[in-house]
Structure 1
Protein backbone atom coordinates (compact mmCIF):
# COMPACT_ATOMS: atom_id res chain seq x y z
CA UNK A 1 0.00 0.00 0.00
CA UNK A 2 1.32 3.42 -0.92
CA UNK A 3 1.52 6.30 1.55
CA UNK A 4 -1.27 8.02 -0.35
CA UNK A 5 -3.61 5.09 0.29
CA UNK A 6 -2.90 4.85 4.02
CA UNK A 7 -5.48 6.02 6.57
CA UNK A 8 -4.26 9.33 7.97
CA UNK A 9 -4.67 9.30 11.76
CA UNK A 10 -4.18 11.99 14.41
CA UNK A 11 -3.75 10.94 18.06
CA UNK A 12 -4.82 13.21 20.94
CA UNK A 13 -4.18 12.14 24.54
CA UNK A 14 -2.74 13.96 27.54
CA UNK A 15 -0.97 10.84 28.85
CA UNK A 16 2.50 10.70 27.22
CA UNK A 17 2.89 6.94 27.76
CA UNK A 18 -0.44 6.22 26.08
CA UNK A 19 0.31 8.61 23.24
CA UNK A 20 3.82 7.29 22.58
CA UNK A 21 2.78 3.66 22.94
CA UNK A 22 -0.21 3.95 20.64
CA UNK A 23 1.79 5.85 18.04
CA UNK A 24 4.57 3.23 18.07
CA UNK A 25 2.10 0.37 17.68
CA UNK A 26 -0.03 1.97 14.96
CA UNK A 27 3.07 2.84 12.94
CA UNK A 28 3.72 -0.89 12.55
CA UNK A 29 0.62 -1.13 10.33
CA UNK A 30 1.39 -0.30 6.71
CA UNK A 31 -2.11 0.97 5.99
CA UNK A 32 -2.11 3.50 8.85
CA UNK A 33 -0.19 6.77 8.71
CA UNK A 34 0.06 8.63 12.04
CA UNK A 35 0.24 12.20 10.75
CA UNK A 36 0.48 13.87 14.15
CA UNK A 37 0.08 13.68 17.92
CA UNK A 38 -1.12 16.21 20.48
CA UNK A 39 -1.50 16.31 24.26
CA UNK A 40 -4.66 18.45 24.32
CA UNK A 41 -7.63 19.24 22.12
CA UNK A 42 -6.58 22.82 21.34
CA UNK A 43 -3.18 21.92 19.92
CA UNK A 44 -4.77 18.82 18.40
CA UNK A 45 -7.11 21.00 16.35
CA UNK A 46 -4.15 23.04 15.11
CA UNK A 47 -2.34 19.86 14.06
CA UNK A 48 -5.51 18.55 12.43
CA UNK A 49 -5.97 21.71 10.37
CA UNK A 50 -2.38 21.37 9.16
CA UNK A 51 -2.41 17.62 8.44
CA UNK A 52 -6.06 16.91 7.49
CA UNK A 53 -6.38 13.45 9.06
CA UNK A 54 -9.14 11.07 8.00
CA UNK A 55 -9.54 9.81 11.57
CA UNK A 56 -8.94 11.59 14.89
CA UNK A 57 -8.43 9.21 17.80
CA UNK A 58 -9.14 11.33 20.88
CA UNK A 59 -9.24 10.79 24.64
CA UNK A 60 -12.22 12.16 26.60
CA UNK A 61 -10.61 13.32 29.86
CA UNK A 62 -8.16 16.07 28.97
CA UNK A 63 -7.27 19.44 30.49
CA UNK A 64 -8.61 22.75 29.15
CA UNK A 65 -11.06 21.25 26.65
CA UNK A 66 -12.40 17.75 27.22
CA UNK A 67 -12.90 15.38 24.32
CA UNK A 68 -16.67 15.72 24.20
CA UNK A 69 -16.54 19.53 23.98
CA UNK A 70 -13.74 19.22 21.43
CA UNK A 71 -15.98 17.08 19.23
CA UNK A 72 -18.09 20.08 18.26
CA UNK A 73 -14.98 22.11 17.41
CA UNK A 74 -13.62 19.36 15.20
CA UNK A 75 -16.97 18.78 13.47
CA UNK A 76 -17.17 22.52 12.75
CA UNK A 77 -13.59 23.05 11.57
CA UNK A 78 -12.95 19.63 9.99
CA UNK A 79 -16.32 18.14 9.03
CA UNK A 80 -14.72 15.45 6.87
CA UNK A 81 -12.66 14.01 9.75
CA UNK A 82 -14.11 11.02 11.56
CA UNK A 83 -13.78 11.18 15.34
CA UNK A 84 -13.10 8.02 17.33
CA UNK A 85 -13.22 8.41 21.09
CA UNK A 86 -10.69 6.45 23.14
CA UNK A 87 -11.40 6.27 26.85
CA UNK A 88 -10.93 4.26 30.03
CA UNK A 89 -14.53 5.09 31.00
CA UNK A 90 -17.42 2.80 30.08
CA UNK A 91 -19.99 5.26 31.43
CA UNK A 92 -23.27 5.22 29.49
CA UNK A 93 -23.42 9.00 29.81
CA UNK A 94 -19.97 9.48 28.24
CA UNK A 95 -20.73 7.07 25.44
CA UNK A 96 -24.15 8.38 24.45
CA UNK A 97 -23.05 12.02 24.79
CA UNK A 98 -20.08 11.35 22.52
CA UNK A 99 -22.36 9.91 19.85
CA UNK A 100 -24.81 12.80 20.14
CA UNK A 101 -21.94 15.26 19.65
CA UNK A 102 -20.79 13.56 16.46
CA UNK A 103 -18.36 10.78 17.39
CA UNK A 104 -18.26 7.94 14.88
CA UNK A 105 -17.14 5.42 17.48
CA UNK A 106 -16.07 4.78 21.06
CA UNK A 107 -13.34 2.36 22.09
CA UNK A 108 -12.12 1.48 25.58
CA UNK A 109 -8.40 1.83 26.26
CA UNK A 110 -8.08 -1.72 27.55
CA UNK A 111 -9.00 -3.38 24.24
CA UNK A 112 -6.41 -5.14 22.10
CA UNK A 113 -4.53 -3.05 19.55
CA UNK A 114 -6.09 -5.05 16.73
CA UNK A 115 -9.52 -3.84 17.83
CA UNK A 116 -8.37 -0.21 17.78
CA UNK A 117 -7.16 -0.79 14.24
CA UNK A 118 -10.52 -2.34 13.32
CA UNK A 119 -12.25 0.73 14.75
CA UNK A 120 -10.02 3.08 12.75
CA UNK A 121 -10.72 1.10 9.57
CA UNK A 122 -14.48 1.08 10.22
CA UNK A 123 -14.89 4.81 10.82
CA UNK A 124 -12.47 5.72 8.00
CA UNK A 125 -14.75 3.74 5.68
CA UNK A 126 -17.73 5.80 6.80
CA UNK A 127 -19.09 3.40 9.38
CA UNK A 128 -19.39 3.45 13.15
CA UNK A 129 -17.60 1.32 15.74
CA UNK A 130 -18.24 0.59 19.39
CA UNK A 131 -15.96 -1.84 21.21
CA UNK A 132 -17.65 -4.83 22.78
CA UNK A 133 -17.48 -3.40 26.30
CA UNK A 134 -19.07 -0.15 25.15
CA UNK A 135 -21.80 -1.96 23.27
CA UNK A 136 -22.62 -3.96 26.40
CA UNK A 137 -22.89 -0.82 28.53
CA UNK A 138 -25.17 0.94 26.05
CA UNK A 139 -27.46 -2.02 25.62
CA UNK A 140 -27.31 -3.88 28.92
CA UNK A 141 -30.83 -2.82 29.88
CA UNK A 142 -32.40 -4.12 26.72
CA UNK A 143 -30.83 -7.15 25.06
CA UNK A 144 -33.61 -7.36 22.50
CA UNK A 145 -32.67 -3.93 21.23
CA UNK A 146 -29.01 -4.94 21.10
CA UNK A 147 -29.83 -7.72 18.68
CA UNK A 148 -32.57 -5.84 16.81
CA UNK A 149 -30.82 -2.60 15.88
CA UNK A 150 -27.71 -2.25 13.78
CA UNK A 151 -24.89 -0.03 15.07
CA UNK A 152 -25.91 2.69 12.60
CA UNK A 153 -29.55 2.50 13.77
CA UNK A 154 -28.34 2.82 17.36
CA UNK A 155 -26.41 5.97 16.45
CA UNK A 156 -29.47 7.40 14.68
CA UNK A 157 -31.66 6.59 17.69
CA UNK A 158 -29.31 8.41 20.08
CA UNK A 159 -29.22 11.51 17.88
CA UNK A 160 -32.99 11.62 17.30
CA UNK A 161 -33.71 11.02 20.98
CA UNK A 162 -31.24 13.78 21.80
CA UNK A 163 -33.35 16.25 19.82
CA UNK A 164 -31.52 16.24 16.49
CA UNK A 165 -33.54 16.76 13.33
CA UNK A 166 -33.22 14.43 10.32
CA UNK A 167 -31.01 17.05 8.68
CA UNK A 168 -28.72 17.43 11.71
CA UNK A 169 -28.54 13.65 12.11
CA UNK A 170 -27.64 13.29 8.44
CA UNK A 171 -24.88 15.90 8.75
CA UNK A 172 -23.48 14.32 11.92
CA UNK A 173 -23.38 10.81 10.48
CA UNK A 174 -22.50 12.01 6.95
CA UNK A 175 -25.43 10.23 5.33
CA UNK A 176 -28.45 11.50 3.39
CA UNK A 177 -31.69 12.69 5.01
CA UNK A 178 -33.51 9.96 3.10
CA UNK A 179 -31.23 7.34 4.71
CA UNK A 180 -31.92 8.85 8.15
CA UNK A 181 -35.66 8.63 7.52
CA UNK A 182 -35.28 5.00 6.44
CA UNK A 183 -33.32 4.21 9.63
CA UNK A 184 -35.97 6.04 11.68
CA UNK A 185 -38.75 3.88 10.17
CA UNK A 186 -36.78 0.69 10.81
CA UNK A 187 -36.08 1.71 14.42
CA UNK A 188 -39.75 2.46 15.09
CA UNK A 189 -40.80 -0.84 13.54
CA UNK A 190 -38.22 -2.91 15.44
CA UNK A 191 -38.98 -1.28 18.80
CA UNK A 192 -42.71 -1.07 18.24
CA UNK A 193 -42.68 2.70 18.85
CA UNK A 194 -44.74 5.03 16.65
CA UNK A 195 -43.56 8.53 17.60
CA UNK A 196 -40.35 10.50 18.03
CA UNK A 197 -41.45 11.36 21.57
CA UNK A 198 -41.76 7.65 22.20
CA UNK A 199 -38.21 7.07 20.97
CA UNK A 200 -36.95 9.79 23.29
CA UNK A 201 -38.83 8.30 26.25
CA UNK A 202 -37.46 4.85 25.37
CA UNK A 203 -33.88 6.18 25.28
CA UNK A 204 -34.31 7.94 28.64
CA UNK A 205 -35.93 4.94 30.32
CA UNK A 206 -33.13 2.67 29.12
CA UNK A 207 -30.40 5.06 30.27
CA UNK A 208 -29.16 5.86 26.76
CA UNK A 209 -29.53 9.61 27.28
CA UNK A 210 -30.01 11.82 30.32
CA UNK A 211 -33.49 12.99 31.29
Structure 2
Protein backbone atom coordinates (compact mmCIF):
# COMPACT_ATOMS: atom_id res chain seq x y z
CA UNK A 1 0.00 0.00 0.00
CA UNK A 2 1.36 3.41 -1.00
CA UNK A 3 0.55 6.11 1.54
CA UNK A 4 -0.12 9.60 0.16
CA UNK A 5 -0.51 13.13 1.52
CA UNK A 6 -2.20 15.83 -0.57
CA UNK A 7 -1.52 19.57 -0.46
CA UNK A 8 -3.91 21.62 -2.59
CA UNK A 9 -5.35 25.03 -1.75
CA UNK A 10 -8.65 24.53 -3.58
CA UNK A 11 -10.93 22.31 -1.51
CA UNK A 12 -13.01 20.99 -4.42
CA UNK A 13 -9.88 20.01 -6.30
CA UNK A 14 -8.33 18.42 -3.20
CA UNK A 15 -11.42 16.42 -2.22
CA UNK A 16 -11.98 15.26 -5.79
CA UNK A 17 -8.38 14.13 -6.13
CA UNK A 18 -8.52 12.28 -2.81
CA UNK A 19 -11.70 10.46 -3.85
CA UNK A 20 -10.16 9.55 -7.19
CA UNK A 21 -6.99 8.12 -5.67
CA UNK A 22 -8.84 6.20 -2.96
CA UNK A 23 -10.47 4.11 -5.69
CA UNK A 24 -7.11 2.49 -6.37
CA UNK A 25 -6.53 -0.62 -4.25
CA UNK A 26 -2.82 0.07 -3.73
CA UNK A 27 -3.18 3.75 -2.74
CA UNK A 28 -4.16 5.20 0.64
CA UNK A 29 -4.67 8.88 1.49
CA UNK A 30 -3.26 9.44 4.99
CA UNK A 31 -3.85 13.18 5.09
CA UNK A 32 -4.70 16.31 3.15
CA UNK A 33 -4.14 20.01 3.69
CA UNK A 34 -4.53 23.43 2.10
CA UNK A 35 -1.31 25.27 3.03
CA UNK A 36 2.42 24.71 2.90
CA UNK A 37 2.82 24.96 6.67
CA UNK A 38 0.07 22.40 7.23
CA UNK A 39 1.89 20.11 4.80
CA UNK A 40 5.09 20.21 6.86
CA UNK A 41 3.12 19.25 9.97
CA UNK A 42 1.27 16.53 8.06
CA UNK A 43 4.48 14.95 6.77
CA UNK A 44 6.03 15.02 10.24
CA UNK A 45 2.94 13.43 11.77
CA UNK A 46 1.96 10.84 9.13
CA UNK A 47 5.23 10.03 7.32
CA UNK A 48 3.61 9.43 3.90
CA UNK A 49 5.58 7.64 1.22
CA UNK A 50 4.43 10.13 -1.41
CA UNK A 51 3.38 13.78 -1.24
CA UNK A 52 1.39 15.41 -4.04
CA UNK A 53 1.61 19.18 -3.83
CA UNK A 54 0.73 22.32 -5.74
CA UNK A 55 3.21 25.18 -6.16
CA UNK A 56 0.73 27.95 -5.30
CA UNK A 57 0.17 27.03 -1.66
CA UNK A 58 -0.78 29.74 0.89
CA UNK A 59 1.46 30.63 3.85
CA UNK A 60 4.40 28.60 2.51
CA UNK A 61 4.72 28.11 -1.24
CA UNK A 62 5.32 24.73 -2.85
CA UNK A 63 8.99 25.43 -3.57
CA UNK A 64 9.80 26.16 0.05
CA UNK A 65 7.61 23.34 1.36
CA UNK A 66 9.25 20.84 -1.00
CA UNK A 67 12.73 22.02 -0.03
CA UNK A 68 12.01 21.66 3.70
CA UNK A 69 10.49 18.21 3.26
CA UNK A 70 13.58 17.10 1.33
CA UNK A 71 15.69 18.28 4.27
CA UNK A 72 13.63 16.80 7.10
CA UNK A 73 12.11 13.72 5.42
CA UNK A 74 14.33 12.68 2.50
CA UNK A 75 12.61 9.30 2.22
CA UNK A 76 9.33 11.03 1.28
CA UNK A 77 8.84 11.22 -2.49
CA UNK A 78 7.44 14.46 -3.90
CA UNK A 79 5.18 14.90 -6.92
CA UNK A 80 4.13 18.33 -8.20
CA UNK A 81 0.62 18.62 -9.64
CA UNK A 82 0.35 22.12 -11.04
CA UNK A 83 -0.90 24.46 -13.74
CA UNK A 84 2.61 25.95 -13.91
CA UNK A 85 4.36 23.84 -16.54
CA UNK A 86 7.15 26.11 -17.70
CA UNK A 87 10.89 25.57 -17.78
CA UNK A 88 11.64 27.77 -14.76
CA UNK A 89 9.14 26.09 -12.41
CA UNK A 90 9.91 22.55 -13.56
CA UNK A 91 13.68 22.93 -13.37
CA UNK A 92 13.54 24.55 -9.95
CA UNK A 93 11.42 21.72 -8.57
CA UNK A 94 13.67 19.08 -10.13
CA UNK A 95 16.68 20.79 -8.57
CA UNK A 96 14.96 20.59 -5.19
CA UNK A 97 14.50 16.86 -5.69
CA UNK A 98 10.91 16.11 -6.71
CA UNK A 99 10.48 12.81 -8.56
CA UNK A 100 7.32 13.68 -10.45
CA UNK A 101 5.83 16.69 -12.22
CA UNK A 102 2.35 16.47 -13.75
CA UNK A 103 0.16 19.15 -15.32
CA UNK A 104 -3.28 19.56 -13.77
CA UNK A 105 -4.86 19.26 -17.19
CA UNK A 106 -3.05 15.96 -17.78
CA UNK A 107 -4.56 12.49 -17.76
CA UNK A 108 -5.38 10.60 -14.57
CA UNK A 109 -3.21 7.74 -15.82
CA UNK A 110 -0.15 10.03 -15.79
CA UNK A 111 -0.66 10.88 -12.13
CA UNK A 112 -1.20 7.24 -11.15
CA UNK A 113 1.95 6.23 -13.00
CA UNK A 114 3.87 9.05 -11.32
CA UNK A 115 2.72 7.90 -7.86
CA UNK A 116 3.71 4.28 -8.44
CA UNK A 117 7.04 5.27 -9.96
CA UNK A 118 7.68 7.68 -7.10
CA UNK A 119 7.10 4.93 -4.54
CA UNK A 120 9.93 3.04 -6.25
CA UNK A 121 12.15 6.11 -6.31
CA UNK A 122 11.84 6.60 -10.07
CA UNK A 123 11.36 9.92 -11.87
CA UNK A 124 8.16 10.44 -13.86
CA UNK A 125 7.29 13.53 -15.90
CA UNK A 126 3.92 14.14 -17.50
CA UNK A 127 3.56 14.47 -21.27
CA UNK A 128 3.06 18.26 -21.04
CA UNK A 129 6.31 18.60 -19.09
CA UNK A 130 8.24 16.42 -21.53
CA UNK A 131 6.83 18.41 -24.44
CA UNK A 132 7.92 21.66 -22.79
CA UNK A 133 11.43 20.29 -22.21
CA UNK A 134 11.83 19.16 -25.82
CA UNK A 135 10.60 22.51 -27.14
CA UNK A 136 12.99 24.32 -24.81
CA UNK A 137 15.95 22.23 -26.01
CA UNK A 138 15.03 22.88 -29.62
CA UNK A 139 14.86 26.64 -29.00
CA UNK A 140 18.27 26.58 -27.33
CA UNK A 141 20.10 24.67 -30.04
CA UNK A 142 18.50 26.82 -32.73
CA UNK A 143 20.32 29.83 -31.30
CA UNK A 144 23.47 28.48 -32.95
CA UNK A 145 24.24 28.88 -36.63
CA UNK A 146 25.15 25.78 -38.69
CA UNK A 147 28.82 26.79 -38.57
CA UNK A 148 28.68 27.28 -34.80
CA UNK A 149 27.19 23.79 -34.42
CA UNK A 150 30.09 22.42 -36.47
CA UNK A 151 32.59 24.18 -34.22
CA UNK A 152 30.75 22.99 -31.11
CA UNK A 153 30.93 19.37 -32.28
CA UNK A 154 34.67 19.62 -32.88
CA UNK A 155 35.21 21.28 -29.49
CA UNK A 156 33.22 18.48 -27.85
CA UNK A 157 35.36 15.92 -29.68
CA UNK A 158 38.46 17.39 -28.10
CA UNK A 159 39.86 19.29 -31.07
CA UNK A 160 42.07 22.30 -30.40
CA UNK A 161 41.32 25.67 -32.00
CA UNK A 162 44.15 25.11 -34.50
CA UNK A 163 42.77 21.68 -35.45
CA UNK A 164 39.29 23.13 -35.89
CA UNK A 165 40.67 25.90 -38.11
CA UNK A 166 42.40 23.33 -40.33
CA UNK A 167 39.37 21.03 -40.46
CA UNK A 168 36.97 23.81 -41.45
CA UNK A 169 39.46 25.80 -43.57
CA UNK A 170 38.97 28.97 -41.56
CA UNK A 171 41.36 31.20 -39.64
CA UNK A 172 42.30 30.67 -36.01
CA UNK A 173 40.76 34.03 -35.12
CA UNK A 174 37.47 32.97 -36.72
CA UNK A 175 37.45 29.80 -34.61
CA UNK A 176 38.03 31.86 -31.47
CA UNK A 177 35.17 34.16 -32.46
CA UNK A 178 32.85 31.19 -33.01
CA UNK A 179 33.88 29.69 -29.66
CA UNK A 180 33.17 32.97 -27.88
CA UNK A 181 29.75 33.35 -29.53
CA UNK A 182 28.80 29.74 -28.74
CA UNK A 183 29.61 30.23 -25.07
CA UNK A 184 27.72 33.53 -24.95
CA UNK A 185 24.61 32.12 -26.65
CA UNK A 186 24.51 28.97 -24.51
CA UNK A 187 25.72 30.71 -21.34
CA UNK A 188 28.34 27.98 -20.96
CA UNK A 189 31.92 28.92 -20.23
CA UNK A 190 34.06 25.76 -20.13
CA UNK A 191 34.85 22.95 -22.57
CA UNK A 192 33.58 20.10 -20.37
CA UNK A 193 30.15 21.72 -20.07
CA UNK A 194 30.09 22.31 -23.83
CA UNK A 195 30.82 18.61 -24.35
CA UNK A 196 27.98 17.64 -22.02
CA UNK A 197 25.64 20.02 -23.86
CA UNK A 198 26.67 18.59 -27.24
CA UNK A 199 25.93 15.03 -26.09
CA UNK A 200 22.56 15.99 -24.56
CA UNK A 201 21.47 17.70 -27.78
CA UNK A 202 22.68 15.02 -30.19
CA UNK A 203 25.46 17.12 -31.72
CA UNK A 204 27.95 14.40 -30.84
CA UNK A 205 27.67 11.03 -29.11
CA UNK A 206 29.34 9.20 -26.24
CA UNK A 207 30.27 6.27 -28.48
CA UNK A 208 32.08 8.61 -30.86
CA UNK A 209 33.91 10.35 -28.02
CA UNK A 210 34.91 6.99 -26.55
CA UNK A 211 36.31 5.92 -29.92
CA UNK A 212 38.34 9.12 -30.15
CA UNK A 213 39.72 8.53 -26.64
CA UNK A 214 40.79 4.99 -27.57
CA UNK A 215 42.61 6.23 -30.66
CA UNK A 216 44.49 8.75 -28.55
Give the TM-score normalised by the residue count of structure 1. 0.66
Give SS of 1:8's match. strand
- Aligned equivalent of 2:192: 195
CA RMSD of aligned residues (A): 2.4
Return the offset for 1:196: 3.8
Give SS of 1:136's match. helix
Indicate conservation of the 8 Å contact 2:22/2:29, yes or no.
Answer: yes
- Aligned equivalent of 1:135: 130
Structure 1 distance, partners of 2:100, 2:192, is 27
The Cα offsets for residues 154-193 of structure 1, whole Å up to 9 and x where unpaired, read as xxxxxxxxxxxxxxxxxxxxxxxxxxxxxxxxxxxxxxx9
Moved over 2 A (4+): 196-203
Structure 1 distance, partners of 2:44, 2:72, is 8
- Aligned equivalent of 2:52: 57
Higher RCO (C-alpha 8 Å, min separation 6) = 1
List gaps (5 residues or longer) in structure 1: 1-5, 144-192, 204-211
Return the offset for 1:114: 2.0
Return the offset for 1:142: 3.2
Return the offset for 1:91: 1.2
Structure 2 distance, partners of 1:51, 1:21, is 21
Tell me which protein shows more helix as a share of its residues.
2
Return the offset for 1:115: 1.6
Q: Does 1:118 align with 2:113?
A: yes
Q: Does 1:7 align with 2:2?
A: yes
- Aligned equivalent of 1:176: none
- Aligned equivalent of 1:161: none
Structure 1 distance, partners of 2:194, 2:77, is 29
